[in-house]
């Protein structure tokens, strides 16, 4: 079996039905090339439901602060609404989707980031469940809902979740964004970033907000898995296909 590919999806594409259908057709193409795992977040949907319910929410350094009281809402959105929607769309395209959370089969273990509430810091766990599904041509679709060792459900940043899943499987990783990749101060694509470049890019505010977490997750995956890591736009199916084939596209991240 060829090296697996982990694709993280999040952002605005999850809130627009037509865009999501377009993305899933691309996923179908990628799954024909490589064993594939999808990891997803859903921060926009979580925020929308919190607002609807009259709950306040905030972020620090691009990551959501999650009070324990919000976890039933987070779990319902991530592991329920979004995960089941992605599984249904995948099934209509002939993909054998299986909906999971990070704690399924002990895939990832989490410690509590107490500064952000019921938020998990994921670490690699057991690869056997995901590997079993991939060996049997299933498409695991993993929501970024984790758990602590004592069974507390935790909200996990989806970029960090995807990096850990890639580490567990020794997989290549693509972090999808709403733009073609990581852009410089003039809006031009940065084709390559290494660990030594990251502090200056952040200090210069070239990489900011949620893209900081994305870059950190990519560098983590590059350091631990020694595999190909890319940040790329979800809209360009041809670019994603090139990445799946090991060709250049988006922003390549290396340690």
Domain of residue 241, CATH code = 3.40.1160.10
pLDDT of 219: 84
Q: Is residue 151 annotated as involved in ligand binding?
A: no
pLDDT of 1: 62
> Closest Cα to residue 8, out of 122, 149, 105?
122
Q: Is residue 64 annotated as involved in ligand binding?
A: yes
Q: Are 231 and 215 in contact (CB under 8 A)?
A: yes
> Closest Cα to residue 22, out of 91, 98, 84, 89?
89
User: The domain containing residue 111 runs over which residues?
Assistant: 5-254
pLDDT of 221: 83
pLDDT of 207: 85
Q: Are 26 and 115 in contact (CB under 8 A)?
A: no
> Closest Cα to residue 142, out of 71, 227, 78, 51?
78
> Closest Cα to residue 188, out of 180, 177, 196?
180
* Total domain count, the chain: 1
187 as an active site residue: the answer is: no
pLDDT of 97: 98
Rg of the chain's alpha carbons, rounded to an integer?
17
117 as an active site residue: the answer is: no
- Report CA 144 to chain centroid distance, whole Å: 8
pLDDT of 62: 65
59 as an active site residue: the answer is: no
- Each residue's pLDDT, cut to its tens digit, for the chain (255 residues) gives 689 999 999 888 898 889 999 999 999 999 999 999 999 999 899 999 999 999 988 877 667 789 999 999 999 999 999 999 999 999 999 999 999 999 999 999 999 998 899 999 999 999 999 999 999 999 999 999 999 999 999 999 999 999 999 999 999 999 998 888 888 888 889 998 888 888 888 888 888 777 888 888 888 888 877 777 899 999 888 989 999 988 888 888 887
Alpha carbons 166 and 251: distance in angstroms, whole number:
17
Q: Is residue 252 annotated as involved in ligand binding?
A: no
pLDDT of 100: 98
**DSSP codes of every residue in 68-114:** GGGHHHHHIIIIIIIHHHHHHHHHHTT--EEEEETTGGG-EEEEE-G
Alpha carbons 161 and 198: distance in angstroms, whole number:
20
> Catalytic: which of 8, 41, 113, 120?
8
Alpha carbons 67 and 63: distance in angstroms, whole number:
13
pLDDT of 142: 98
Alpha carbons 57 and 73: distance in angstroms, whole number:
12
The reply to whether the predicted model has a pTM over 0.75 is yes
- Work out the burial of residue 94: count CB atoms within 10 Å of its CB; fewer than 13 is exposed, 13-18 middle, 19 or more buried: exposed
> Catalytic: which of 99, 125, 146, 159?
159
Q: Which residues of 59-69 are buried (b: 16+ CB within 10 A; e: fewer)?
A: eeebbbbbeee
pLDDT of 227: 77
Alpha carbons 54 and 6: distance in angstroms, whole number:
35
Alpha carbons 61 and 209: distance in angstroms, whole number:
6
Strands 36-40, 5-9: parallel, antiparallel or unpaired by DSSP? parallel
User: What number of helices (H) and strands (E) belong to the chain?
Assistant: 9, 14
214 as an active site residue: the answer is: yes
Q: Is residue 255 annotated as involved in ligand binding?
A: no
pLDDT of 217: 84
159 as an active site residue: the answer is: yes
Q: Are 246 and 184 in contact (CB under 8 A)?
A: no
Residue 7's SS3 state is: strand
């Amino acid at each position: 079996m060829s090296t697996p590919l982990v694709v993280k999806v999040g952002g605005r594409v999850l809130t627009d039905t037509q865009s999501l259908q377009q993305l899933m057709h691309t996923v179908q193409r990628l799954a024909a090339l490589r064993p594939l795992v999808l990891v997803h977040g859903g921060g926009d949907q979580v925020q929308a439901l919190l607002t609807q319910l009259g709950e306040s929410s905030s972020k620090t350094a691009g990551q959501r602060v999650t009070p324990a009281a919000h976890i039933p809402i987070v779990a319902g959105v991530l592991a329920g609404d979004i995960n089941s929607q992605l599984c249904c769309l995948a099934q209509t395209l002939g993909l054998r989707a299986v909906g999971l959370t990070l704690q399924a089969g002990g895939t990832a273990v989490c410690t509590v980031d107490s500064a952000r509430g019921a938020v998990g810091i994921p670490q690699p766990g057991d690869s056997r469940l995901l590997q079993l599904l991939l060996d049997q041509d299933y498409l695991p679709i993993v929501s970024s809902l984790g758990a602590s060792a004592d069974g507390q459900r935790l909200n996990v940043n989806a970029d960090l979740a995807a990096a850990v899943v890639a580490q567990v499987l020794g997989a290549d990783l693509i972090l999808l964004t709403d733009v073609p990749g990581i852009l410089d101060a003039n809006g031009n694509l940065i084709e390559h970033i290494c660990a030594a470049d990251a502090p200056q890019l952040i200090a210069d505010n070239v990489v900011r907000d949620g893209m900081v977490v994305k870059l950190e997750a990519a560098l983590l995956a590059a350091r631990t898995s020694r595999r190909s890591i890319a940040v790329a736009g979800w809209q360009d199916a041809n670019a994603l296909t090139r990445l799946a084939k090991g060709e250049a596209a988006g922003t390549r991240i290396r340690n």
